Chains A and B, each alone.
Chain A
Amino acid sequence: MIESRNGRRVVITGVGVLAPCGTGAEEFWAGLRRPAEPIIDRRIPDFDPSRWGITHVEARRTDRFAQLGLAAATQALADAGLDGAELPYDRARCGIVMGTGIGGAYAWESQSKILLERGPARVSPLVVPTVMPNAAAAMVSMRYGWRGPVETIVTACASGTHAVSNGARLVAAGRCDAVLVGGSESCQTGVMSNGFLNMKALSSSGISRPFDIDRDGFCSAEAGGALVLEEAAAAAARGATVYAEVAGSGSTADAHHITAPAPDGRGAIACMRAALADAGLSAEEVTHINAHGTSTPLNDATEAAAVAAVFATTRPAVTSIKGVTGHALGAAGAIEAIALALSFRHGELPPTMGVVQVDPAFDIDVVLEPRRWTPGPALSNSFAFGGHNGTVVFTPA
């Protein structure tokens, strides 16, 4: 990273994921190659907070998004081997950056109902800490005693990607030795789901088919994803297994419209170019892009045009896992960063499921079947409501 001090590099040493297509990295990876049922509202079928050490008392004071974040973090730290009592780092130099789009939507909605139906005296004293978007990061911090910067990023559907990039900067800048990054989201409440529906963002067919000519909106999803980032030399010294290096990132805004992307894709183009510059790479060196690819008419058109503009001569392989996972909003960037990390691990690109015919207007190489891939510089994109854009660049470690 350009802002790195003393040549500090950042590597991914652990991942944890809960998504509608699978819990745990292996199940998730296998799930990315299975066609998804046509469901507009995709949930994790068998989530059990007690499996992740969440007690009854903790469960009462955490909304589902925070539980998913804590569960993902628990997996990721175990995968990295940093979940034990002995930590090779000073906990004051270990940070947490989590993202979420909304926060504790279920508590907010159920307590609003209690206020109206049963009166002010019945509103739970736990509603504030349950609703607050920083609850997931706080829960992880308390469980593991990590006391470095513990922060939450709220940039709608770019939250997860911005969490990865901001966590990586804490390591590169020398503030932290390890940072747990990720995102979690669960907000499929009556108010939120009908809000998405009435703004015509959701698919009416229940089929998520990114970049397809017949794409008709996104399918909403819940998920939790977490990655452990460490300074490369320290990770190597302790014998950690490395998925990939976080080589750079970009963050820009459209400054255009609260929900629609700038029609010329200028924010997305600037974001990908900023990420490449940060990583010290040229566009020609990139071989793969894990796209935002929501399956909405506008996002996919804008993103395809932006990718075609930045990578005009090389046509890197583009995949969107949202054909399977649906769109998990503030968790999306996290689980997509994990999918990209797993692509490095397996030397394979997951397919863009749900696609029958790629929109002929798009001049990009959409991956439709699992494809062997020699790991090389690759991007993961997120483009959010509010015009927030995020890109991270991973390279072989």
Chain B
Amino acid sequence: MSQPVTAETVRADAARHLGIGAEQLVPGVLLGEDLGLDSLAGIELSMSLEERYGINITDDELSEVTTYGHLEQLVLAKVAAS
């Protein structure tokens, strides 16, 4: 990546993918109940971030994710490890 990956860049990319404002992606927001994402939409969001950052999120890891904050941490950890 030419630019450093930060919480802000992940949030901006996730918001762009979902077509919502980045301010809605606070750490505690529930992807399902609050944002209305079903399992397919969650997989799609995860795939979009995987491609954007060249990382791999496993099905098991994704199944543990309930909040946006959790997803963001997962992405940042994967980027740091790559």
Binding site for B on A (CB under 8 A): 56-57, 59-61, 118, 121-122, 124-126, 129
B4 CB–A CB distance under 8 Å: no
Residues of A near B40 (CB, < 8 A) are 61, 125-126, 129
Residues of A near B18 (CB, < 8 A) are 56-57
State how many angstroms separate the Cβ of A291 from the closest Cβ of chain B: 43
Contact of B36 among A57, A61, A122 (CB under 8 A): A57
B43 CB–A CB distance under 8 Å: yes
User: Chain A contact residues: over half helix, strand or loop, or mixed?
Assistant: helix
Count of A-B residue pairs with CB < 8 Å: 27
Contact of B37 with A57 in the complex, beta carbons under 8 Å: yes
Binding site for A on B (CB under 8 A): 18-20, 36-37, 40-41, 43-44, 47, 51
Residue in A closest to B18 when the chains form the complex, CB atoms: A56
Residues of B near A129 (CB, < 8 A) are 40
Cα A338 to Cα B18 with chains together (Å): 36
Contact of A122 among B19, B20, B41, B51 (CB under 8 A): B51
Residues of B near A126 (CB, < 8 A) are 40, 44
Contact of A124 with B20 in the complex, beta carbons under 8 Å: no
Contact of B47 with A125 in the complex, beta carbons under 8 Å: yes
Residues of A near B51 (CB, < 8 A) are 118, 122
7 residue pairs A–B, Cβ–Cβ below 8 Å: A57-B36, A60-B41, A118-B51, A121-B47, A122-B51, A125-B40, A129-B40
Contact of A57 with B47 in the complex, beta carbons under 8 Å: no
Residues of B near A61 (CB, < 8 A) are 40-41
Q: Which 7 A-B pairs have the closest CB atoms?
A: A56-B19, A125-B43, A125-B40, A126-B40, A125-B44, A57-B41, A126-B44
Residue in B closest to A128 when the chains form the complex, CB atoms: B40
Cα A126 to Cα B18 with chains together (Å): 14
Cα A59 to Cα B40 with chains together (Å): 14
State how many angstroms separate the Cβ of B39 from the closest Cβ of chain A: 9
Cα A95 to Cα B15 with chains together (Å): 37
Residue in B closest to A60 when the chains form the complex, CB atoms: B44
Residues of B near A57 (CB, < 8 A) are 18-19, 36-37, 41
Residues of B near A60 (CB, < 8 A) are 19, 41, 44
Residues of B near A118 (CB, < 8 A) are 51
Contact of B44 with A56 in the complex, beta carbons under 8 Å: no
State how many angstroms separate the Cβ of B51 from the closest Cβ of chain A: 6
Contact of A124 among B19, B37, B47 (CB under 8 A): B47
State how many angstroms separate the Cβ of A323 from the closest Cβ of chain B: 39
Cα A122 to Cα B18 with chains together (Å): 17
